[in-house]
Chains A and B, each alone.
Chain A
Amino acid sequence: MQISTTRSFLLLAALTIGGAGIAIGQTEVPAAVKARQGQMQLQSFYLSTLGEMARGNIDYDADAAQASADSLVAIAAMDWDPLWPEGTATSEVEASRALPAIWTDAEGYAAAWDAFGTAAAAVQGVAGGGLDGLRAEMGALGQSCGGCHDDYRVSND
């Protein structure tokens, strides 16, 4: 009963979100913006497994931790550049929170992606080897996300 309520709720939520996506998609959100936001959501998803373990909210599981870290490294290795075409800053595309600095400071932005790659690789190196090692690298991983959001994403309600 519990499960089926949750399921139908999820289904409903998925339909609503899907519907909203179509509605916006029909108007103006460029595919690159949707794709990069999807990429960010993926990052959050894999980060959540690691983060909940580091926080002590779920039990540490070496395999799951390793798989999540591997996935983050794989995402960081993707070619991000095509997802950030000019003309898709927050002032130009309402659904986006990307700041113009991404394009005016392209070097800094590339460095922020590198920092994420480096931090993800460091977590990959320790994720399967115990909770303490994972915890020690999580701060830097979080900062690599937050550091980029700090400079290149507008804060929002």
Chain B
Amino acid sequence: MMRRLLSAAALIALICVVAGLWLTRAERLPEGAVASLAGDATRGEQVFWAAGCASCHAAPDAEGEARLVLAGGEAFPSEFGTFYAPNVSMHPERGIGSWDAAAFADAVQRGVSPEGAHYYPVFPYASYALAEPQDIADLWAFWQTLPASDAENRPHDVGFPFNIRRGIGLWKRLYVHDDYAVQGPLDSDAERGRYLAEALSHCGECHTPRDALGGLDRARWFAGAPNPSGRGRIPAIDSDDLNWSRREIAQYLADGFTPDFDVAGGHMASVIANLANLPEEDRDAIAAYVQAVSPSK
């Protein structure tokens, strides 16, 4: 009897382990999803600015041309510890210069490293998962034109149990979606804006509050959130809270001036430095989408 109980317990434990391993496994993109596409570096530069890679991967306080040197080092404080952006420049050892398109796309759209480990979601792959494969192929083409930096990576300062990457597999099952946060009919401008804002510029990563596990609360999209730096709040920008005109929003995304000519600071200044490189229609499209985000939907 005892032995039977024990073996039943062992069997259950084994099932749990197998299920756990299965649930937390790293899933790459389907083979060839991005790697089979020819990339265009000129278009890739637009994707680069829309996606805001430089905001995190350029050295802290880099400005102008220096934002193209993706040396890493920026710190991201969170409830789970402090993360540091790695060197993702084209340096063959210190950066990702030896990667191919498939490895790049798996990292950016699935949060999976070449070795098959999960990345922490502070790298906003949950947003980039929604991007068009062609955009990622273009981005990689542009990436390969960028300079190398030999800056060394700083290890994350994250305690147990969050230092076990395997667990992120479960997180991904809960929070990486294959559909947009904002559903429902949108006009064609707002639809383009939704693609830019949700798949690339990841506005929600800052402007949407998170739940206890650090996942975005899609029911409170753009409702504002505590600033992860621990000081102040990131403002709500849904249509209940932000009563700026479409033009005012679009112009703010280009020059950082609010309708009262206060000037954006915080991480928004860096977002604007990226978006200023996009064509005006794109900022206008994002503005149309922002106005369509209504909490009472």
Give chain A's interface residues, CB within 8 Å of chain B.
44-45, 47-48, 51, 54-55, 57, 90, 97, 99, 138-139, 142-143, 145-151, 153-157
B234 touches A155 (CB 8 A): yes
Chain A residues with Cβ below 8 Å from B265 are: 146-151, 153, 155
Bound Cα distance A45, B260 (Å): 8
B260 touches A44 (CB 8 A): yes
Known: A148-B265, A149-B269, A155-B227. A51 touches B234 (CB 8 A): no
- Give the A-B contact count at a CB cut-off of 8 A: 75
B264 touches A149 (CB 8 A): yes
Of the listed stretches B135-143, B152-160, B184-192, B251-259, name the one at the interface; the rest are far from the partner chain: B251-259
Can you name 9 extra interface pairs (CB under 8 A) apart from A44-B262, A149-B266, A157-B236? A138-B255, A142-B256, A146-B264, A149-B264, A150-B265, A154-B231, A155-B227, A155-B233, A155-B268
13 A-B contacts (beta carbon < 8 Å): A44-B262, A47-B263, A55-B251, A99-B231, A143-B269, A147-B265, A149-B266, A150-B269, A151-B265, A153-B265, A154-B227, A155-B227, A157-B224
**Whole-angstrom distance from the CB of B269 to the nearest CB of chain A?**
4
Q: Which 9 pairs across A and B sit closest by C-beta, in order of nearness? A: A149-B265, A145-B263, A154-B232, A155-B266, A48-B261, A44-B261, A150-B265, A146-B269, A146-B263
Chain A residues with Cβ below 8 Å from B121 are: none
Chain A residues with Cβ below 8 Å from B260 are: 44, 48
Q: Which single member of B231, B257, B267, B268 contacts A51 (CB below 8 Å)?
A: B257
Chain A residues with Cβ below 8 Å from B256 are: 142-143, 146
Bound Cα distance A141, B276 (Å): 15
For residue B235, CB closer than 8 A to chain A, the reply is yes
Give chain B's interface residues, CB within 8 Å of chain A.
63, 224, 227, 231-236, 241, 251, 255-257, 260-270, 272-273, 276
B255 touches A51 (CB 8 A): yes
Bound Cα distance A57, B257 (Å): 13
**Whole-angstrom distance from the CB of A138 to the nearest CB of chain B?**
7
A150 touches B255 (CB 8 A): no
**Whole-angstrom distance from the CB of B136 to the nearest CB of chain A?**
30
Known: A51-B261, A146-B269. A156 touches B255 (CB 8 A): no
Bound Cα distance A97, B257 (Å): 18
Chain A residues with Cβ below 8 Å from B233 are: 155-157
Bound Cα distance A153, B268 (Å): 13
**Whole-angstrom distance from the CB of B249 to the nearest CB of chain A?**
13
**Whole-angstrom distance from the CB of B23 to the nearest CB of chain A?**
37
**Whole-angstrom distance from the CB of A104 to the nearest CB of chain B?**
14
**Whole-angstrom distance from the CB of A92 to the nearest CB of chain B?**
13
Q: Which single member of B232, B236, B263 contacts A155 (CB below 8 Å)?
A: B232
Chain A residues with Cβ below 8 Å from B263 are: 44, 47, 142, 145-146, 149
**Whole-angstrom distance from the CB of B92 to the nearest CB of chain A?**
33
